[in-house]
Each structure stands twice: as structure tokens, then as C-alpha cells.
A and B are shown apart, each in its own frame.
Chain A
Amino acid sequence: MSDHTHGHTGTHEAHDHHEHHQSFWSKYVFSTDHKMISKQFLVTAIVMALLAMFMSVIFRLQLGWPDHKFPILEKFIGSWGKGGKLDPNFYLALVTIHGTIMVFFVLTGGLSGTFSNLLIPLQVGARDMASGFLNMLSYWFFFASCMVMTAAAGYARLRIGNDVVVGEHGLVHRFSIARRN
């Protein structure tokens, strides 16, 4: 991975005279520049955090006022909030996805992705990351996983607890045996 443009020192004339014009795609989307990648991570993380925060508001409404109906829920989550009442299965999906998004997508991908990318090259005095391409790939894997997780949030059969897996077939039963022992 010894990319010749990212050496320790040297004059790097190539960089000074290399301000080629970039298209929108190569500048903002398929960028290998660590500063742009860190911005991509940050903005994606903020969007995901808002989504997870919105989920927490929905289930806090349920927990805080369990006997109350919130007709406005139907506007946001449709059939999962029929008659203003949160669907119990969807409640489990919501807390799970809230936790997953916050821990992995905001505080792992978002936090490390943003600040490691921004600060490591700038604070150690490097031109860029060791491999700009892998760095770009890292963001795109992150983006893809965000999309799949958002899709999973819409898939109400999904049920996984923080430390307990509960599936559709035999697992609930086995789980209860394990707990009694």
C-alpha cells in the first residue's frame, strides 16, 4: 500500500499543480480524500441518529402513556400505529433498531469514521490515509449497511433483543428453558 503520493516528507509538486477539476461525483460521492469521507460519515451519522431518536420518541410515548392513544402515530408509522396505538411487535423492533443504530451506526461508524478520518492524517502530518481507496470502500460499506438496517426497521417480523435472540420457530421455547436452569 505504498502509494507514492502519500510519503512522509518531500515536496509533492504533483499536489500543487494538480488541482484538476472534479465532477460532482468524484468530489462528493466517490471521494478518496479523507476530509470528504469524514464529512460523508458525519452527515450519514446525523441522519441515522435523527431516525433512531425519532424511534425513541415513539416508544417513549407508549411507555409514558400506555393507556393513551396518539392518532398522530398513524401518520408517521401507518399500520404499525393503528388507531394511535403502537403495535407491540413493532415496539420490540423499534427498541432493537434504536439501539443498533445508536451504538453501531452513530457512535461507532459515525464517531470513529468522522474523527479518525478527519484528525488522524491531519494530526500526524500525513497527506491522506494509507489507502484512500479502502477508506472510500469503508464509507460505502457503511452506507450500504445503513440502508439495509433502515429497511430492516420497516420489516416488522424482525425481533432481536440486546442480548437475546428470539426467532420465529423454536427459539423462544429454548430460551425460556435456558433461563429457568
Chain B
Amino acid sequence: MTLWLVSMVLFIGSALLGGINYVVTVLNLRTKGMSMTRLPLTVWAFTITAILGILSFPVLFAAALLLLFDRSFGTSFYLSDIYINGAPLHYSGGSPILFQHLFWFLGHPEVYIVLLPALGLASEIISTQSRKPIFGYKAMIGSMLVIAFLSFVVWGHHMFITGMNPFLGSVFVFTTLLVAIPSAVKVFNYLATLWKANIVYSPAILFAIGLVSFFISGGLTGIILGDSALDINVHDTYFVVAHFHIVMGSSAIFGMFAGIYHWFPRMFGRMMNRKLGYLHFWLTILSVYGTFFPMHFIGLAGVPRRYYANTAYEGFSGIININSLISVFAILGAFAQLIFVINFFYSMYRGKKAVQNPWKSNTLEWTAPVEHVHGNWPGEIPTVYRWPYDYGKPGAEDDFIPQTVPYSQTKSSNLEGEE
């Protein structure tokens, strides 16, 4: 526990150093022509994530540091009462509720710190591989900003039954359910981008579509859990485990996989093996749903989480087979990840050499040489003339127009006002 706290203090130091760097870089070091509305959605997502981290991580930093003091140096920050009947209390112990408030004030923004970069990567990959502009670019930015704002006022929905005032609970229900609106906007935009697209399949877009799938199926149970009246029935059961593993764990890790498959050539100058990527995807999505979908049902049946074994109660004897099935899928999923690890390290050294722009993408990173150089571009930094999503533009010669191509060279495809 003390080590856990020390580790978190160090980790938060890392997150803050990184976050402030990301925000400053995006605000100050954009190249000529790269206005904020020409930034790829990935960069928007990373920036909003960094701002969320900078605002919320210090709270956990304080919470961890104070708890460390309480445990190791004899302070009493977490005692809600110092004296009872005139007698001072022993300084050990403390109210977990005080820690919980501090923890979840970070804890909820943390969900979006995890999710937003994954959504940003998915936006970029879905647009590129669908060969279509992202649907609702500004709505995507707006919904991310709204999600970021709302994430600071919903932490109480993790604490409905801690003894918090029920009236406060209903306020948190309201703010929590509001999150469904920007989330639905994002899902709608992903589906509209994919709609009737000539999708160029790659492991990256499969993982990105998998993310959207988890975002929907996990988000639906979020509506149930966000409502305090419904939450009481399933609080601290496997229903909650299923919900957050799907909507936060799996969708974020799918976003990460999508990003790795997509930007691997940019990182290492080689391609990952495509067939192993497909195998990895199908085994992973099968085992994720196989693991977490049945958990909804055993959660509704009342099986509590955090129990070492559920053998003590006669009523739970019926779920033991389901638990074995879940374990089988979990172990299958673990083995599937070994495919990824083998593919990753093998391709790093032996993969097929990558070309400069393997996905025919518009964004700037693919204009830099395959071999990494200091300062990213050997000569001048490229200038940007357009937004990053000119895919499949009617009248254009090719189905993509990189950001570095000025409008004067694409007269045939320019829309009104573009010159």
C-alpha cells in the first residue's frame, strides 16, 4: 500500500511533465498554416487529454501524498473526527469517504484520459481507411470538449451508496446521463464515416471498429449504472466489472492496438504482419465479448465483485459454470496477445520495409522520411494548406490530398471559398 502510493506519486509526476509538454507543443509549435481547425483529431484528443490530466491528476497527487503522511508519519488528514466526547482519537485509521472523494475526482476524468486518445486514434484511422472525410469534424472536437468538461462533475456516480446525501446522488445522475449526448454524437459520426465507405481493410481499422462496438455496448450499461436507482441493485457486482472492462478497458486497448498497427511503420520503418494482425483481432474480440458479456448476467444475479471465491453461498452454485467459461475465454484472450507480442517484436527487426506513406494518408507525419532524423524533417518544415481529411474529394485526381498540397494545385476539386 505504501509502495502503491509512492508509485502513484511518481506516476503523477510523469503524467504532469508529459501533459504540460503536449499542451505547450500544440499551442506554440504548430507549423505555418496549421490553424487549430486544421489539426488532425488525434492531436485534438491528445491535447484535451493532457488538459484533463493537468487539472485532475494533482488532486490524486494530494490524496496519495496525504495518505502516505497518514500512514507513515502520524498525521491525521483523513480523520473526520479528532475528538469524541472530549477524548482525542488515536491517529490511526481514517474515513475512506474522504479519500474516495479525492480519488474519484481524479478517477472519473481518468476514464476519459484513457478513452479520448483512443477515440482520437480511431477517428484518424477510420477516416483514412474509409477513404472518406471524417463526418462532423467540428462536432467531434465539440463533443470531446463537452465530455472533458462533464467528466469533472460526475465523480459522485462512483459513490452512490457510500452514504453520500441521496439528493447529491440525483444531481450526479443528471450530469452523468448528460455524458450520453456527446458520446452518442461521436458514435454517430464514426458510423456515418463508415457508412457506404469503400473500406480499405487493415488490422488497424478492424481494431478501430472494434472500439466503436465496445463504446456502444459498454456505453449502454453505463446508462444503467449512471442512474442511482438502478445502480443500487447492481452496485459492486460483476455487472460493474463487465461495464468498465468493455467501455473503458477494452475500447481503449483496442484504440491502442489500432494505433500500433497503423503507426508501426512510422515508428519502426517496417510493416507488421497483416495476417497475424487479423488473427490477433478476431481472437481478441471473441475473447473480450466471451469474457465480459456473461459477466453482465452473473452481475444481475447478484454475484459480488472482489470476492476470492463464490462458493460460500448456495445461491451462487449455479454460476460456477459461467465463471469457468469466462475464465476459458480470458485465458484464450491472453494467448491471443502473445500473437501480437511475437508480431510486434519480429516485425521490429524482420518486418517488410515500409514505404513513406503506406496508408495513403493526408497528415504531416507521413511527409517525413522513413528513417528517423533529428528534427523530423531534413529540410524545412512543410507548410499546411488544408484540413487533414480531404479523402475521396469529388473532382480530385487522387482519392487523397495531403495537407501540404495548396489549393492552387487542386483547382478541379476545390469547393467554394477554397483557393
Contact = CB atoms under 8 A, between A and B. Distances in A.
Nearest to A158: B1
A157 to B, nearest CB: 7
B225 to A, nearest CB: 13
B14 A119 contact: no
A131 B47 CA distance: 16
A26 B365 CA distance: 24
B36 to A, nearest CB: 10
B333 to A, nearest CB: 8
Contacts of A148: 3, 6-7, 10
Contact of A9 (B31, B113, B337, B365): B31
Given A64-B326, A65-B327, A88-B308, A118 B263 contact: yes
Given A15-B375, A57-B331, A123-B40, 10 more contacts: A9-B381, A39-B268, A66-B311, A107-B253, A111-B259, A116-B18, A128-B376, A142-B14, A148-B7, A159-B1
A133 to B, nearest CB: 10
Contacts of A49: 253, 337
B312 to A, nearest CB: 10
Contacts of A39: 267-268
Interface residues of A, number: 105
A119 B365 CA distance: 7
- Tell me what chain B mostly uses at the interface: helix, strand, loop, or mixed: helix
Contacts of A122: 266, 364-365, 368, 376
B97 to A, nearest CB: 6
Nearest to A67: B311
Contacts of A165: 1, 67, 96, 99
Interface in B4-42: 4, 6-11, 13-15, 17-22, 24-26, 28-32, 34, 39-40, 42
A1 B24 CA distance: 10
B260 interface: yes
Given A11-B379, A107-B249, A148-B6, A125 B1 contact: no
A124 B259 CA distance: 17
20 contacts: A1-B24, A8-B30, A10-B380, A50-B341, A53-B334, A66-B320, A97-B4, A107-B118, A108-B53, A114-B259, A114-B260, A115-B42, A116-B50, A122-B368, A123-B39, A123-B43, A137-B14, A155-B3, A164-B100, A181-B163
